[in-house]
A = this chain, B = another copy of it.
Amino acid sequence: RVWVTYGTEVFDVTDFVELHPGGPDKILLAAGGALEPFWALYAVHSQPHVLELLRDYKVGELSPEDAAKPTGDTEDPFAGDPPRHPALRVNSLKPFNAEPPPELLTQSFLTPNELFFTRNHLPVPSVEPGSYRLRVEGPGGRGLSLSLAELRQRFPKHEVTATLQCAGNRRSEMSRVRPVKGLAWDIGAISTARWGGARLRDVLLAAGLGDKTGEDGEWHVCFEGLDVDASGTPYGASIPLKRALSADAEVLLAYEMNGQELPRDHGFPVRVLVPGVVGARSVKWLRSVVVSPSESPSHWQQNDYKGFCPSVDWDSVDFSSAPAIQELPVQSAITEPRPGAAVPAGEITVKGYAWSGGGREVVRVDVSLDGGRSWRVAELGPRPARGRGWAWALWELRAPVAAGTRLDIVCKAVDSSYNVQPDSVAPIWNLRGVLSNAWHRVPVTVTR
């Protein structure tokens, strides 16, 4: 049977599951735990009649031990990690890596902070905002050391609605072709927020670092986080200086996410936010910004997050032979229905997201119900009117379906450069399982 808690009370909601106005799949996400985190996300629940309705299902109280919060282990470097939303699907607990379930991913254009996919490489640092300092330096520049207050006050706040995607999103589909090294992300290592912060461009210009884009090759901006491994080595990454200095590229040193201060899991108090670029370059818990003639020497810049030919294995790989991933290719996935679902005959509603890197807006999503033999054009949801295509498009297709049939639902997106997704996974397979952007396929059966 299905139970949930609210405060210290326990409710058996088995008979309510099918009556849930948001659908049975949504209420089942809370099964076996507390309702509060879900009700906090969906404001429709904060009405008196909802709680009254719940009281009808009360079956008891939590024991005092179960109601008490667990105590941390002081030997564990991850003991200081923040609490997380129970709806997140955890791919790795330490370091914490988790994605929202597909059913919630496309519930809203902006992903609630609590559900935004989290990709941590190391323990979450505890930062005292009053003593935080951001170091900004480079050859010929005036070194800056900025407090959080200075970052907020010296530079105009700029806001960008942008999607972040992990290079490993949809890796689990690639693993099914041949095993790869990496976390088994499903389709949820992608989320969208409204970010606020100082433009990196403004900060670099204030530090006298705006003039390194001449003829002497490409320069870079290297970022380091406050998150460190056991040897004290921080997470690091870099982007081309040209992008950092471009007003159009809108690279931020962000301190706000959907109108709130950055959550600890997303880089409190300051993170880099590079629109249109793989999430790995949007360094969290930012401690330094260094302009350099070379890319970041970090492991994650040099020997990870790169793409290779399917024939390259761990014996033959030469990481120096491939460029570090920056802009990501065009992507889309189906969030509803779920693979293997049984859907009622009549009309099916297919939902999903589509996005492309580099500010290339999604111009069309094609959906097939017959494995790619025939295609229909999905309806794209509303998107911000202004600015470049930094954010995803949510899309939907309604189509009649006959009882007793099997559907092989497929989606593929087209971006403003008319780039398309590849048909199949095997030819883009790579040993790290990154850049998995083949057509997304969801088989379902039609009942009744």
A residues lining the B interface (CB < 8 Å) = 215, 307, 309-312, 322-323, 325-330, 357-358, 363-364, 366, 372, 374-377, 386, 412, 414, 416-424, 427-428, 435
Q: How far is the CB of A315 from the nearest CB of chain B, in Å?
A: 15
Task: State the CA gap A330–B215 with chains docked (Å).
Answer: 27
Shortest CB-to-CB span from A101 to chain B, Å, is 27
A423 contact from B311, B366, B417, B424, Cβ within 8 A = B424
Q: Are A375 and B427 in contact (CB under 8 A)?
A: yes
Given contacts A322-B363, A421-B422, A423-B424, contact A416 B376 (CB under 8 A): no
Q: In the complex the two chains form, is B427's CB within 8 Å of A309's CB? A: no
Q: How far is the CA of A428 from the CA of B417 in the complex (A)?
A: 14
A439 → chain B closest CB, angstroms = 8
For A417, list chain B residues within 8 Å (CB). 326-329, 357-358, 419
- Residue contact A420 to B428, C-beta cutoff 8 Å: yes
- Cα distance A376–B328 in the bound complex, in angstroms: 23
A412 and B427 contact, Cβ closer than 8 Å, known pairs A329-B417, A357-B417:
yes
Most buried by B among A310, A325, A372: A310
Residues in B with CB closer than 8 Å to A420 are: 329, 422, 427-428
B310 touches A419 (CB 8 A): no
State how many angstroms separate the Cβ of A173 from the closest Cβ of chain B.
15
A423 touches B416 (CB 8 A): no
Which one of B386, B427, B435 contacts A418 once the chains associate, using CB atoms below 8 Å? Answer: B435
Assembly stoichiometry (copies): 2
Chain B residue nearest in CB terms to A412: B427
Contact B414 A307 (CB under 8 A): yes
Say whether chain A's binding surface is mostly helix, strand, loop, or mixed.
loop
A327 contacts B416, C-beta separation under 8 Å: yes
Name the contact of A377 in the complex, choosing from B311, B416, B418, B422 (C-beta under 8 A).
B311
Which of A307, A372, A420, A422: most chain B Cβ within 10 A? A420
Q: Indicate if the CB atoms of A375 and B416 lie closer than 8 Å.
A: no
Residues of B within 8 A of A215 (CB): 386
- Taking CB atoms, residues of chain B closer than 8 Å to A412 are 427
Residues on B with C-beta less than 8 A from A421 are 422
Complex CA distance for A311 and B369, rounded to whole angstroms = 13
Q: Whole-angstrom distance between the alpha carbons of A364 and B312 in the complex?
A: 13
Q: Closest CB of chain B to A445's CB: distance in Å?
A: 24
The 9 closest A-B pairs by CB, nearest first: A423-B423, A327-B417, A329-B419, A419-B419, A309-B377, A329-B418, A420-B422, A309-B366, A418-B435
Q: Which of A310, A419, A422 has the most CB of B within 10 A?
A: A419
Measured CB to CB, the closest approach of chain B to A279, in angstroms, equals 14
Q: Which residues of B sit under 8 angstroms from A311, Cβ to Cβ? A: 374-377
User: Inside 8 A of A363's CB, which chain B residues have their CB?
Assistant: 322-323
Shortest CB distance A105–B (Å)? 23
Out of B330, B372, B376, B416, which one reaches A419, CB within 8 Å?
Answer: B330
Partner of A325, one of B322, B323, B325, B418: B418
Bound CA–CA A417/B412 (angstroms): 18
Q: Which residue of B lies closest to A310 (CB)?
A: B375
